[in-house]
Structure 1
Amino acid sequence: MHWRRSIQLLLLFTHLSGIILVAGMSDVWVELRAPRFVVHRHSAVLRCEHNVDPESLYKVVFFKNGQRLMKFVRGRDPPYEFYNITGAEINLISLSPTSVTLDRLDFTASGTYACEIALETPLYFKVSKIHELNVIVRQKFRPKIKIKRKKLSPTDILEATCQSAAAHPAPHLTWFINNMKVDERLTTPHGAVSVHRHHHGMPLSMTNSSLAYPLSSLQLYPNQTVDVTCMSTIPSYASMGEGFADVQNYTVPVKVVSSTEPTPTQLPVKIVSPELNLSARCHVERILFVLVIFVCHIYS
Structure 2
Amino acid sequence: MRRTVTPPVLFILVCGLVLVSGMAEVWVELRAPRFVVHKHSAVLRCEHNVDPEALYKVVFFKNGQRIMKYVRERDPPYEIYNFTGAQINLSKLSPTSLTLETLDFTASGPYACEIALETPLYSKVSKIHELNVIVKQRYRPKIKIKHKKLLSSEHLEATCQSAGAHPAPHLTWFINNVKVDERLTVPYGTVKLQRHSHHGIQLSMTNSSLHFPLTTLQLAPNQTVEITCLSTIPSYANDGEGYADVQNHTVTVNVIGIEPAPTQLPVKIISSELNFSTRCELNRILIAILLLACHFGRVIL
- Shorter-chain-normalised TM-score: which range? 0.7 to 0.9
2:113 is the counterpart of 1:115: yes
Q: Which moved more, 1:56-65 or 1:147-156?
A: 147-156
For 1:123 and 1:110, the matched residues in 2 are separated by 33
Change (3 A) 1:154 1:92: same
Task: Name the structure 2 match of 1:275.
Answer: none
Q: Select the residue among 37, 40, 59 that pairs with 2:38.
A: 40
Residues 1:245 and 2:244 are matched in the alignment: yes
Q: Which residue of 2 aligns with 1:59?
A: 57
**Which residue in 1 is equivalent to 2:205?**
206
RMSD: 1.4
Aligned residues of 2:158 and 2:209 also touching (Cα < 8 A)? yes
Distance 2:85 2:109 in 1: 11
Amino acid at match of 2:18: L
Paired positions, count: 245
Question: In 2, distance between residues paired with 1:24 and 1:123?
Answer: 13
Moved over 3 A (4+): 6-9
- Counterpart CA distance in 2 for 1:258 and 1:26 is 67
CA drift at 1:221: 2.4
- String of CA shifts for 1:239-283, please: whole Å, max 9, x gaps: 2111100000000011111447xxxxxxxxxxxxxxxxxxxxxxx
Return the alpha-carbon distance in structure 2 between the equivalents of residues 36 and 158 of structure 1: 37
Cα distance in 1 for partners of 2:221, 2:18 equals 74
Contact 1:154 1:216 in 2 (8 A): yes
Question: Over residues 92-149 of structure 1, what are the superposed CA-to-partner deviations in whole Å (9 max), with x where a residue is unaligned?
Answer: 1111000000000000000100000000000000000000000000000000000110
In the alignment, what sits opposite 1:236?
235
- Correspondence list, 1:269-280, <5 A: none
SS in 2 for 1:55: coil
Structure 2: state its 5+ residue gaps: 1-13, 260-301
1:79 Cα deviation from its structure 2 partner: 0.2
Q: Give the distance between the partners of 1:119 and 1:164, measured in 2 at CA.
A: 50
- State whether residues 143 and 165 of structure 1, in contact with CA within 8 Å, keep that contact through their aligned partners in structure 2: yes
Deviations 1:41-99 (A, max 9, x none): 00000000000000000000000000000000000000000001101000111110000
User: Following superposition of structure 1 onto structure 2, how do residues 122-271 of structure 1 map, counting pairs within 5 Å?
Assistant: 122-195=120-193, 196-259=195-258
Task: Report if the CA contact (8 A) 1:8-1:24 is conserved.
Answer: no
Q: What runs of 5+ residues in structure 1 fail to find an aligned partner?
A: 1-5, 12-21, 261-300
One-letter identity of the residue aligned with 1:210: S
Q: Distance in 1 between matches of 2:71 and 2:204?
A: 44
Q: Percent identity?
A: 75
- CA distance in 1 between counterparts of 2:75 and 2:21 reads 29
* TM-score normalized with structure 1 length: 0.79
State the Cα distance separating 1:205 from its structure 2 match: 0.4
Q: Distance in 1 between matches of 2:140 and 2:199?
A: 22
* Structure of greater Rg: 2
Counterpart of 1:212, as a letter, is: H
